[in-house]
Amino acid sequence: MNSAHHEGVYYIKKAKDFRGPTNRADNGVLVGGLWSPVGPIECISLSKALGGTTIVAVETVVGSFALPLYDHINDASDQIFGSMKSQNPIFDHPTLQLLEKCQTLDTLKQVHAHMLTTGLALHTFPLSKLLLVSSTLAVSYSLSVFNQIRNPTIFLFNTLISSLTSNHNHLTHIAFSIYNRVLSHKTLRPNCFTFPSLFKACGSDPWFHHGPALHTHVLKFLGPPYDHFVQASLINFYAKCGKVSVSRYLFNQIAEPDLATWNSILAAYAHSSCSGSGSISGWAASLSLEALWLFTEMQNSSIRPNEVSIVALVSACTNLGALSQGTWAHTYVLRNNLKLNRFVGTALIDMYAKCGCLDLACQLFDQLHARDTLCYNAIIGGLAIHGYGRRALDLYEKMKLEGLAPDDVTFMVTLCACSHVGLVEKGCRVFESIKEVYGMEPKLEHYGCLVDLLGRAGRLKDAEERVRTMPMKPNAILWRSLLGAAKVHGNLEIGEVALKNLIKLEPETSGNYVLLSNIYASVDRWDDVNRVRKLMKDQGIVKVPGSSLVEIGGAMHEFLMGDKTHPHLKEVYLKLEEMNKRLSEYGHKPRTREVLFDIEEEEKEDALSYHSERLAIAFALIASHSSAPIRIIKNLRVCHDCHVSTKLISSIYEREIIVRDRHRFHHFKDGTCSCSDYW
DNA sequence: GTAGGGTTAG
């Protein structure tokens, strides 16, 4: 082969480094999207000359740099690539180094002018750098640079698309218009580098519906076997738009998943199970369990989990409240020398906090080196749900002192922290600061927190006023917190308004009807209770059964209200009887008002004492060590009677009982609860 | 030039 024919052949990697299907290559030789003047025949000879190493990507960059390649032709390794790079005036061109350092558009323009005069701007690699840098400084400039390129290669189209989708979520429409130019191009075709960034952009509203069409393009332009990058982005896309089963189907098609595709499917299950209702439903729990199961399958394969896999595993444990497995994941990180980076750190902080081990969460937070806003959000949120409002506010201040900017989530968890302990004035100031100090517009969620803050504190009129004057339409969550506040403070008028709106938005959620009927029951309006009961019956709405999980010896035990299925049923009910007896010795009188329907008083008492957490506590008292705290995870909120009884039980049996309910934690100890009865 | 990762009101 005559080196004079070479206009430069770069991007050579050993075939063994190239995992997965090879439709990057045509006939075993390819072509990073661009047809090199070298041509396939020469590439094959080159491949042979390199001792059988497959050339997986060929790119024409600029003339006269083929020679360094020949100098190293017998040593086919990444070193070749490295030394080629170092000897290649294009890759390390001083102008490109200048380009990387550009901080302003003006300096960028100067560098660009220089590139035009020296001819550097005629070549793909320098142009791609120019596009990347300019897209971070001024997108319009990078678009004008792109439009000036006479024959942009697919490499440059891809560079532009990826820079548009990674830096600017709001520019997805431009990315798609660029993609359409590829589609209408006479000779260019999208390749495996084109799709992943586009699927990433489709992973949020309102772009979901573009995904399936794009998927057909993958089938049309790439064909099997599919590139793993593309597969991973597809799995991720379908999970994000709620179609985990499609993600799973695609994953199952992959003969040998690599790390990225394993991680995609793990994240798909872990993430899908935490979005949605916010509490554990059977469906969400089964998705998280599947993530745990997939993780063990991954360990049985030849792929070693990395930090990304651990993050998904830990998130799944958080959703399940599976403290043992979550702790195991923590030790896995330490044993296998994985990095405890901010991703893993935040996931673990969240896991410990949401599994009831706030102390461990705080310790871990203190140990974390590179903390960012998300780490703070996780710990502030953790403190909030455990009812440590002041500590949460202290960290909120500390975060700002560290120079970190609060984001939407920070405001949300901080407001929530104020709300849980009744720090009304402080919370209102935080809310006002969103606009006044940070120049951001409060979102629906922030109004929701504010309404909750005011409502819980009994300022129902103020809360209602906020709802009426807020700039956007209230959602179901907001109406429900107003309804909850109306119930606590016995305000029927506001409760009825809230419910009317709530049922319009969520006609099938049983909890809404239960809340209203409890309001009626609390003022002995049994006719209205019956009316709600009939309404539910007519609409075919079934009350969600209360469920409590408790972990004993590493196994999760689930109890449903009035459960008759547990293997230790007999002992549990005997213990329950004993507990009820001791409770009444301590003067406890069941508060029966909150039982949904007008049944006989004695039956009501029964219904209360068979609430799922009572069964779980009874079992834990029998089956766990007497010094260990009892940790319970509920799917609904703790009812008033259970709250009173559990306080007493903690003192009678001298046990610490930690209950995670639908909204927050209650630490019962020595007859009191950490929520100070404000929940 | 491409993928997969943490926090989110009630």
pLDDT in tens, A209-224: 999 999 999 999 998 8
pLDDT 10s digits, A541-552? 877 778 888 888
- Convert the pLDDT of each residue in A330-353 to its tens digit: 999 999 999 999 999 999 999 999
Q: Which residue has the tokens 């997805």?
A: A172
Contact (Cβ atoms closer than 8 angstroms) between residue A616 and residue A550: yes
Q: Name the closest residue (CA) to the C1' of nucleotide B2.
A: A193
The candidate with the shortest Cα–Cα distance to A137, out of A104, A184, A173, A93, is: A104
What is the structure's pLDDT at A63? 25
Q: Which nucleotide is nearest to A232 (CA to C1')?
A: B3
Calculate the angstrom distance between C1' of B10 and CA of A363.
Answer: 28
Report the protein residue whose CA lies nearest the C1' of nucleotide B8. A409
Neighbours of A297 (CB within 10 A): 13
Name the residue closest to the C1' of B1 by its CA.
A159
In whole angstroms, B8 C1' to A135 CA is 29
Radius of gyration of chain A (CA): 31
Residue A586: both structure tokens together = 């301590």
Between the CA of A9 and the C1' of B4, what is the distance in angstroms? 31
Q: Which pLDDT belongs to residue A472?
A: 95
**Distance of C1' in B3 from CA in A54, Å:** 23
Q: Which residue has the tokens 């075919």?
A: A540
Nearest nt to A448, CA vs C1'?
Answer: B9
What are A177-190's pLDDT values in tens digits? 999 999 999 999 99
Nearest to A631 by CA among A383, A283, A320: A320
Closest nucleotide (C1' vs CA) to A446 is B9
Query: Which nucleotide has the shortest C1'-to-CA distance from A374?
Result: B7
Closest nucleotide to A228, Cα to C1': B3
Structure confidence at residue A89 (pLDDT): 63
Please, what is the average pLDDT of chain A?
82
What per-residue confidence (pLDDT) applies to A276? 44
Identify nearest nucleotide to residue A345 by CA to C1′ distance. B6
Q: Protein A512 CA to nucleic acid B10 C1', in Å?
A: 12
Q: A244 pLDDT band (50/70/90 cuts)? A: very high
Domains of chain A, start order? 3-92 (no CATH), 371-438 (no CATH), 443-544 (1.25.40.10), 547-673 (no CATH)
pLDDT tens readout for residues A250-298: 999 999 999 999 999 999 999 887 654 444 556 667 788 899 999 999 9
pLDDT digits (tens, 9 = 90+) for A497-525: 998 898 889 888 877 787 777 777 777 78
Of all nucleotides, the one whose C1′ comes closest to residue A125's CA is B1
Element of type H or E holding A631: strand A630-634
What is the SS3 assignment for A58-104? Answer: CCCCCCCCCHHHHHCCCCCCHHHHHHHHHHCCCCCCHHHHHHHHCCC
Between the CA of A358 and the C1' of B4, what is the distance in angstroms? 29
pLDDT category, A18, cuts 50, 70, 90? very low
Q: Stated in angstroms, how far is A315 CA from B7 C1'?
A: 11
Cα separation of A569 and A173, whole Å? 59
The protein footprint on chain B, as nucleotides within 7 A of a CB, is 1-10
The mean-pLDDT minimum among A27-31, A169-173, A534-538 falls in: A27-31
Spanning CA of A310 to C1' of B5, the rounded length in angstroms is 9
Q: pLDDT band at A27, cuts 50/70/90?
A: very low
Name which residue leads in pLDDT, A85 or A448: A448
Which CA-bearing residue is nearest the C1' of B5? Answer: A308
Q: How far in angstroms lies nucleotide B4's C1' from the CA of residue A142?
A: 28
| Nucleotide of closest approach to A264 (CA, C1') | B4
Quickly tell me which residue has 């589609």 as its tokens. Answer: A183
**pLDDT (mean) for A115-125:** 87
Cα distance between residue A597 and residue A62, in whole Å: 81
CA of A642 to C1' of B4 (A): 43
